[in-house]
Amino acid sequence: MTIPIPAEDPRHVPNMAVIDPSAITENTRAMGTLLEEHTALMAVVKADGYGHGMLTAARAAIEGGATWLGVAHPASALALARAGLDAQILTWLYEPHTARTVLPEVLGSGVDVAVGSPEMLELVSEAARQADRRARVHLKIDTGMGRGGVLPWQIREIGAAMREDDFIQVTAAWTHLTSADDPEDPATDQQVELFDSACEALADEVGPIPLQHIANSAATLTRPDLHRDIVRPGIALYGYPPVPTDVPLRPAMTLTSRLALVKELPEGHSIGYGRIRTTERPTRVGLVPMGYADGLHRVASDQVDVLVRTDSGDRLAPQVGRISMDQIVIDLGPDSTAVAGDQVYLFGDAGGAPNDPPAATADHWARAGGTIPYEVLTSVSGRVTRKVLS
Ligand SMILES: Cc1ncc(COP(=O)(O)O)c(C=O)c1O
């Protein structure tokens, strides 16, 4: 058995990811307004709820109308099942060792499992026999992702195998889109065409397929024709729509710290490893005790303005120099009244007065780091305390 590394005592850590579950609830509700009555919403809460805390995210999404929860790992599904939440759970990513050790209990808990290869079908069938319970299977069809999923020309064979297995109950057919965040990309329609003909072939083998699901956040927002029986939004529920939208969505995570020190640097003084930044004038700099080990990507160095709450109001201050493992430096400006202990908002909702500047968002950090907000949110590391607002 492995033992988790003890977390630092959260009372002694200045860095906090403040999670607002009401944002997740309202975002879920807002996404739900796009759906026809017969379409259910599966809140994707994998990767610890995109860094927000899986159970927190799951409960908040259910309050907002989600009736399904989706996670990659069976271990996450088990944790959700044990929490006794009022939602059907789907898990889709496992290898043989995990399947043999965890899937019997997962199936015994009433969780649905995805099957994306003949080998996975065998593992699920074996686990179902052990659990003495029919497995509710969502057959994953690979229509272009090239990851998990049965290829269209394997459908008939796997369909026949499922039909002949008393421990397998075909519950759904599903696929995952490669390019839904670019509504102009013809790849989405090509994938849907492949999916639909694969579903026809599958239905020939197993009879009517009870459920179909395709849409992630982007397709939920832009392609009502792809909503089918269930939609599977993730990132939009956390407040970061991957496509422009009028649907009101707000970020659920605010990343904060406190100034560890403030000091004056003369003109021409270098800052940080590699001296990528030198002061152009005498200025006051603030040291923030948060770095790449907390989730601020080093590649995003020297590009994002952070917000500092000083006694003379909220001020934006550029992060300057390379991001270190545990710390960054921000340029407060020569006239700043900031002092050590002042609150710093790296991204999210600083809750300032209407005329105060807003804090950066995970989108700003993503652009600076050449990545996507998904990665920014899920990179906030375990040593950052999560504070859940009530
Ligand atoms: C299978 C599956 N469905 C749905 C989602 C949700 O995607 P998004 O966060 O873009 O809405 C993901 C996340 O990557 C996923 O892996």
| Exposure letters 201-232 (e unless 16+ CB within 10 A, then b) | bbeebbeebebbbbbbbbbbbbbeebbbbbbb
Mutate to test the pocket of ligand 1, among 34, 227, 232 (most ligand atoms within 8 A of CB): 232
Last residue of a domain, one of 178, 205, 238: 238
Do residues 77 and 145 share a domain?
Answer: yes
Active site (annotated) includes residue 273: yes
Assess if residue 342 is contained within a domain. yes
Tokens of 371: 């990545």
**CATH at residue 272:** 2.40.37.10
Instruction: Give the whole-number percent of the chain exceeding pLDDT 70.
Output: 98
Domain end position, chosen among 212, 238, 264: 238
Residue 127 has pLDDT above 70, yes or no: yes
Long-range contacts of 351-360 (CB under 8 A, 24+ apart): 352/307, 352/309, 352/314, 353/313, 353/314, 356/313, 356/314, 357/307, 357/314, 357/315, 357/316, 358/307, 359/254, 359/306, 359/307, 360/304, 360/305, 360/306, 360/307
Spatial distance between the Cα atoms of 109 and 4, rounded to a whole number of angstroms:
25
**Ligand 1 centroid to 72 CA: how many Å?**
10
**Substitution candidate for ligand 1 out of 140, 216, 245 with most atoms within 8 A of CB:** 216
CA of 234 to the centre of ligand 1 (A): 6
pLDDT tens, 164-173? Answer: 999 999 999 9
Question: Quick one: 220 and 272 in the same domain?
Answer: no
Residues 204 and 311 in one domain: no
Looking up tokens 């004056």, which residue turns up? Answer: 264
For 195-222, the pLDDT digits (tens) are: 999 999 999 999 999 999 999 999 999 9
- How crowded is the C-beta side of 146, counted as CA atoms within 13 Å? 2
Query: Is there a single domain that holds both residue 325 and residue 261?
Result: yes
How far does the centroid of ligand 1 lie from the alpha carbon of residue 233, in Å?
A: 6
Total length of the chain: 390
With a 6 Å cutoff on the Cβ, whether 321 touches ligand 1 is no
Average pLDDT over residues 133-159: 97
| Closest atom of ligand 1 relative to the 92 alpha carbon | 1
Query: 38 and 126 in one domain?
Result: yes
Q: Kindly report the average pLDDT of the chain as a whole number.
A: 96
d(CA 116, CA 70): 16
- Within a domain: 302: yes
Q: pLDDT for 49-92, tens place per residue? A: 999 999 999 999 999 999 999 999 999 999 999 999 999 999 99
Single-letter code of the amino acid located at 65: G
In a domain, 180, yes or no: yes
- 362: nearest Cα among 347, 352, 382, 342: 347
Q: Which of 176, 179, 181, 372 for mutating ligand 1's site (highest number of atoms within 8 Å of CB)?
A: 176
CA of 71 to the centre of ligand 1 (A): 9
User: Does the CB atom of residue 217 touch ligand 1 within 6 A?
Assistant: yes
Question: Quick one: 231 and 304 in the same domain?
Answer: no
Secondary structure class of 71 (helix, strand, coil): strand
Residue 316: is its pLDDT beyond 80?
yes
In a domain, 11, yes or no: no
Which string of DSSP letters, residue by residue, matches 135-170? EEEEEEB-SS--SSSB-GGGHHHHHHHHHT-TTEEE
Give the end of a domain, one of 178, 207, 238.
Answer: 238
| Residue 2 pLDDT | 60
Measured from the Cα of 50, ligand 1's closest atom is: 9
Do 264 and 233 lie in one domain? The reply is: no
Does residue 243 form part of some domain?
no
Give, using CA atoms, the residue closest to atom 8 of ligand 1.
234
Residue 373 predicted with pLDDT over 60: yes
Known catalytic residue at 140:
no
Ligand 1: atom nearest CA of 235 is: 9
Question: Does 127 map to a domain?
Answer: yes
Note whether residue 4 is domain-resident: no
Gyration radius from the chain CA atoms = 24
For the chain, helix (H) and strand (E) counts, in that order, are 11, 19
Same domain, 376 and 322: yes
**d(CA 280, ligand 1 centre) in Å:** 45
Q: How far is the CA of 214 from the centre of ligand 1 (A)?
A: 10
Check pocket membership of 216 for ligand 1, CB cut-off 6 A: yes
Q: Kindly give, in sequence order, each residue whose CB lies less than 8 Å from that of residue 81, ignoring residues fewer than 6 positions away.
A: 89, 106, 109, 110, 111
For 3-32, the pLDDT digits (tens) are: 655 667 877 889 999 999 999 999 999 999
Q: Into how many domains does the chain fold?
A: 2
Pick the catalytic residue: 238, 273, 292, 387? Answer: 273
Name the residue range of residue 201's domain.
21-238
By alpha-carbon position, which residue is closest to atom 14 of ligand 1? 234
